[in-house]
Structures are given as C-alpha cells and as structure tokens.
Amino acid sequence: LFHSMKTFLASLCLLGSLLHTLAQCTSEFHLEGDYLIGGLFDIHHVRDSVYLYRPEAIDCSSQLFILSSYRRFQLMRFSVEEINNSTNLLPNVSLGYDIFDHCSDTQIFPAILKLVSFSGTIQSWGEPHKNLSKVSKVTAVVGPFSSTNTLTIAPLFMPDLIPVVSYGAASSTFTKKLKYPSFLRTVHSNKEIIGVIVEIILHFNWRWVAFLNSDNDFGKDGLELFIKRIENTNICLAYTKGINDNTNTFQMFKQIQAQKIGVIIVFTTKLTAEALIESAIQVNITDKVWIAGDTWSLNKRLPKVKGIKNIGTVIGVSQPVVTIPGFDDFIYDSKSQTHCEKKEQNMFCNQVCNCSSLTPEDILAVDPSFSFSVYSAVYAIAHALHNTLQCGSGRCNGNITVYPYMVLAELKKSNFTLLNRSIKFDENGEPKFGSYSIVFWNHSGDAEEIGFYHFYPQRNFFINGTKIQWYTKGQVPTSICSKECTIGHAKKQNGIHECCFNCIICPSGTYINSSVDPYKCLKCKETEWSEEASTSCSLRVVEYIQFTDSGAIVIMVGAWFLVGLTAAMSVLFAINYNTPIVRSAGGPMCFLILGCLSLCSISVFFQFDKPTTSFCILRFLPFFLFYTVCLACFVVRSFQIVCIFKIAAKFPNLHSWWMKYHGQWLVITVAFLTQALLLLIGYSCAPPKPYNETVWYPDKIILSCDINLTATSSPVVLLLSLCCFCFIFSYMGKDLPKNYNEAKAITFCLLLLIFTWIIFATEYMLYRGKHIQTLNALAVLSSLYSFLLWYFLPKCYIIILQPHKNTQQYFQGLIQNYTKTISQ
C-alpha cells in the first residue's frame, strides 16, 4: 500500500509539473511591458507573386523560411530582455514588443494596422488629433529589413510621427525628410556601400564591369547611384540587368561573356544572389571577379557549394561582424523554453514561426550580417525612451505621458556608447557610426576580412590585396575593353563607352597629356617641337646668322672691298674722264653705275643678325632699287652700242632723236621712278616682316623675313624685263670689233648674273636653314661683282697697263675697219 501511494504521488507530481510548464509557455512574438516596441522581420519570404481579386492577408509561416532573418528576430528579443534586466537603462520600466513576420510587401497590412491602432481602432488622419491618448501604444518600430517593404509601410507610420528605425533599408530615397520625417536607420544608405564598391574597383584598376541588381527598389536605387558615382572616372558600365524570378540567366551570362567582362557586381537580395551564383555554376561561368553587396557577402552556404571555386574570385562588402555578449546564451535558453505558437496563431496572424525544430547551433552558425544594426536600433529607442521619461538615479518619471513624437525627438538627439561604439544620427536620420568590412571568400569557404572602410571620425579606406587568392594564381585579374595606349598615343573612342577605343599615334609637332585629355593630341607652341609619339614638347633651337659668324664676316669684308674698289675705279675714271675707254664705257654713266653698285651692297649687311622689320626692308630695298638703275644703264649702254654700229646707218632719224633728247637718261629715269613706285606700293601694302621658319626643321626656329610674293612680284618682273632687254641688245652686238667688244662683256656679266640666281633659287627650294641668308648675301655680292669685275676691271687694265689702246686714233681705226667689213 505504501509503495502504491508513493507511485501515485510521484505521478501526480509529474503531472503537476507538466501542467505548470504548459501554463508558463511564452510567446516569441509578443511581450507585455510598460511601453511597446514594434518589430518587423522577414522570417519568411514570399517568392512567387500572388495575384488576388480582393485584399487578403497571407499566412507567412507557410512560406520560404529565412534563417538569417530569424536570427535577427531573436536578436531583438535578446536586446529587449537585456534592457529589462538593466538597472541603468529604463530602471523600473519594462519594455515589451509586438513583432510580426513581414514576409510580403503587399499582404501584411493587418500587422501594420495593429501597430498603428489603439484598442483596435485607428483615428482618421484627416482629422486633428483631439485626443492624443488614443494614439498607438507602440512608441517606435524596429524594421523592416528591405527597402521595398519599408517604402510600402513607412507612410502609415509617418502621420503620427511614430519612429521607424530600420536595420536594413538602405535605399537613398529615405533621406527625404519631408516624406519620411520619422524614419531613421542604423545601416548606411546605398550611396555609401556603392562608394565602397567603386573604391574597390578603382583600387584594382578595373575598367569594364557589369552591374546586376535586384529588380526592386533596393536594386534600382543601387544602380542609379552606381551610374552617378562612376561619372568622371575611368570605370565603364558595360552591362546592367535587373534580376527577378523570370530572368533568363543563361542569356544574361552569354551576353556578359560576349563582351569579355571580367568584373561582375551583384547588388541583390540574399535569395536572388544565391540563385544567381548557383546559375553561374550551372552554366559554367569561370574566371570572373564577383563583388558582393552586404546582403550576401557573409553568406555561409554559397562558399561551400560544389563548383563555387570555378566561378572565379568573390570579394564582398559586409557589415562588420560584432560579437554581442550574452546572445549565444540567450539562444540556448530560448530554445529550451516552450512557446505557445498554436495558441498565438489564433490570436493574430503572422506571429507564428513553426521553427521549433531549429537548434541553437543552426541559429548561431548563420550569416550574422546586420546583427549590430538590430541591436543598436533597439538600444537607440530604449535610450530615447529613457530620456523622454527623464530617468535617472534608479527611477523614471512615471507622470510623463509618452507619445511617439517625443521619442522621435530624443532619437534624433541620440548620443550614447554601445559596445565601445558611439551611436549618433545626423539631421536626416542617417547613422553617424559604423563601418564596412571588405571580405574575400577563401578556399576554405570562409569570408576572410582583407580590408575596411571607416566613416567616422574620418573616412579611411584600406585593402590588403596580398591576402586575396586570385583565380589567376597570383596576379590581379584585369577587366578592360581596350588595352591602354602606349606612351605617345591618343585614344579614339570606339562605340558608346569611353573604355573602348583605338590608339592613334600623335604626329610630330604634337604631344599627349593623358592626365588631362587622353583623347587629343595637343599642338606644341610655335617655339616648341616634339617627335612622333611624344608626351611633352621641347624648346626649339633659335638659329640665325650673327654678325660675328665667320661666313658673315667674309661676306661683309667682300662688300666693303667692293665699295673700296668702286671708289678706286671712280677716281681712276675721273682722272681719265676724257679718254676713249672711259667715254666708250659710258662716260658719266660709269659713275652712276659704280655708285649704284656701292649702294646695292647695303643689302648685304642687313642679311645678318636677328631680323627686325627695318632689317627685313633693307635686306631687299637697296638691291631692288639701285640694281634697277644699274641694269637700266646697261640696257641703254647695249642699245647705244648697237645703235652706233648698226642702227645709225639704217635709221638715221631714230638716232638723231635719241641723241637730241638724251634718250639714255630718259630710260634710266623712267626705270628708276617705276621701280621706286612699285616698291613704295608693295611695301606699303605688305612690308617684309620677321618670320619664324618652323616647317622645314621641327626642332629649330629659323629667324628670317617673310616676303609677300604679291608685293615683290612687280619689282622682280621689272628687273627681269630689264635683264632680258639688256641681254637682247648685248647679244645683237656680239659681232662687233674684237677689241671693241663691250656688248660681249655685258652679255657675259648677264650670264653670270642669271646663273647666280638660278643656283640660289635651287638652293632656296631645297634648303631653308639659317645659312640661306648667307647664300642670299653671297648671291647679291656675286651679282655686284659680276659687273664690277667683268665690265669695269678690263677697262681699268687698259687704262693702267695698255695706255696705247686708250687713244683716239686706235678707236677710230677699229671703227673704220668694222665699217669697211659691213660695206663689203
């Protein structure tokens, strides 16, 4: 009997313990407290779009389960419990929560309406809030995670200024405070992570990239920010695609392969990224660099999928992994408790998990991304409530009625330390804390940290590329459309992308400055030169013949000698003025010719030294003007010789007219005045001026004079005409008496003159160096010496050494013999 009684009491005790356990079961989604915090976590996810004919709530527990979101859900529960156990934060105040499974962006409105309602009713937003006590009991909301979900539900919280502190919504649109006045977040916006991705691309000098984004608000925002961020960089967006469940990934990867893109940025949600990478493995995409966003860079499953090493190298930007003390113990304790899921299923939809089969190890081993974001969001709300209630000295002011807008005001002023991190928000509700880690998927299947990007107190980017195990077995992979041009080549864009180009060599006289404009060969200055394919210009060597040049000295001495020789001849002719030789040479005309030859030599001295406008004028003016007089004198002299011996007898009237009116002086005067007029007109319209010759010699500047052909053509034509007339008349007298053959002397001088300028013209066409001025001076001097030596010098020889030939009787004998010869 005693034994039977003992057995009965033991069974009764066991039954009582079981009933007590059932009575003490707890809810994971709801906790009563003095103040409630709402929570929205996508523990499940609706993969397929459901089209309904009428509004209908969805049962999230039957959808795809997301373990990483469940971990974040547990982290909120842990944070609230930790705050409730704290004696410093909200002393004697209990926080509660009302958390919902936010599995869809269009079919979870019952949960949202419950958060904004008071006792099951919602005050109309069109009416002023006459009774603030009827505002929702929820002081703030943590979540949602995705940008699309946040865009859908955030407007429902804004009218009552209920703070929405998101731990994952990164879209840049939430910075618009007029539209989202009570929105804050503990993650950085897409703008920041896109900036980090671009820094990585620039660091490794990749130029030709593809951007694959989720076909939702989050992905589209990232794409827009990426396009804007790569402006004014060398990065070209070769391919972009919005990915959804209906995307033909085979065709997409085929296009990427066709364009030879080596770097692929995957800016998608975790589920989309998993499907995309698995598809890449299936279609055998190899040798690529994949840049992962923070939504999937710490994925625990993908790095261990078979064939993952074949796709190439995966680099990611991730939320820093922060160890939260006590969380592991909380998970173990939580999983040992019994939860009243079926009972709560009858209370309200989407507060059921059906995940009792999960072990603590499963939860703790999953991707820890965004853990600190959830943790800091809950603590930010708690600190804001702490300040609203004026807590201090172990108690809070219970007489204060807390409204959401009051908590919002304190949230914006947040300034506290959490796990050695300073938690603050800027005026747009953006976090003034946090950083990004840069990770690499190593061969062991782990995400190894290889760098960081710190935002505060100052921006600091670092990446250790030596830790990365590239698929190229050491070298950093390249991703370019066209290879960089070699030095001295300009780019010529090929197609719509700046990264695709042909290389054109820069010709001589130009250079390329790739840092300023890699697409244009710039012309060197007139004072500079460059060889083909140059990156800079060099100063040209300035060349001209100075007065001290040996050749110039010789020629100037020759000019002075000519002046001295003409002076000496003039004296000799003056002494022997009445002798037949002087009179036959032209008499007074000899002095005019010798004087003009001396004046022509002035041009020689201005052929040297650095040219100026006056130098350029005097290089040609004296020679053109006074040599015209010389040639006119010889034309007249040749005509007179022919007239005396041939024309006088046949045309006596012409001869008498010529003698009566001094025809020789009339011709000389007309020629002189005509040439003077032509030079005056030509030099007035286009005077010679200094000119830098830069065409013939790319590395030199030859200082010369620019002669306008139109302005100088008329004086030259007059000189040529006189030369032709002189040659004709002198040639007519070639059969004159042997010892009285001045016509032959003039003909020979003219041949020398023509030969001299033909040689100079040939040299001028073939050579334009600095010595062309020396040759020009030599040609002028040769033209002067031709008449001086071959016309006047023989006469000086007769006067000095053969005086017997310088008599009247001798000359008359020559003439009589010639007359007899003609008459016979």
3-state SS of 493-553?
Answer: ECCCCCCCEEEEECCCCEECCCCCCCCCCEECCCCEECCCCCCCCEECEEECCCCCCHHHH
Residues forming beta bridges with residue 97, ordered by sequence position: 31, 37
Alpha helices in 130-189 (DSSP H): 147-157
How far is 151 from 158, CA to CA, in rounded Å?
A: 11
The Cα–Cα gap between 413 and 403 comes to 16
Q: What angle do CA 375, 379, 382 make, to 5 degrees?
A: 150
pLDDT of amino acid 253: 95
Domain 550-823 has CATH 3.30.2010: no
Q: How far, CA to CA in Å, does 491 sit from each of 296, 533, 568, 638? A: 39, 12, 72, 70
The domain 25-48+55-122+135-187+325-334+355-424 having CATH identifier 3.30.499.10: the answer here is no
**How many Å apart are CA 189 and CA 174, to the nearest integer?**
9
pLDDT of residue 58: 79
- Residue 62 has a pLDDT of 83
Q: What is d(CA 256, CA 264) in angstroms, rounded to the nearest whole number?
A: 9
CATH class name, domain 190-320+435-467: alpha beta
Reduced to 3 states (helix: H, G, I; strand: E, B; else coil), residue 312 is strand
Retrieve residue 698's tokens.
């790319």
pLDDT at 498: 87
Q: Which of 655, 635, 634 is nearest to 646 (CA)?
A: 655
DSSP 427: T
Is the separation of the CB atoms in 661 and 817 below 8 Å? no
| 293 vs 277: CA distance, rounded Å | 13
Q: How far apart are CA 759 and CA 810, in angstroms?
A: 41
Residue 12 is predicted with a pLDDT of 34
Cβ–Cβ < 8 Å for 188, 434: yes
Identify the residue whose tokens are 């002011």: 397
**Measured between alpha carbons, how far is 745 from 743 in angstroms, rounded to an integer?**
5
3 state SS of 601: coil
- Please provide the average confidence, as pLDDT, over all residues in the chain: 86
**Backbone phi, psi, residue 690, to 5°:** -60, 145
Say if residues 450 and 439 touch (Cβ distance below 8 Å): yes
C-alpha torsion angle, residues 558, 563, 565, 569 (rounded to 10): 160
Q: Which residues of the chain have pLDDT under 70?
A: 1-26, 48-56, 119-136, 338-348, 642-655, 657-659, 661, 733-741, 814-824
Give the per-residue pLDDT at 22.
39
Q: What is the pLDDT of residue 510?
A: 93
pLDDT at position 90 is 94
Q: pTM here?
A: 0.70
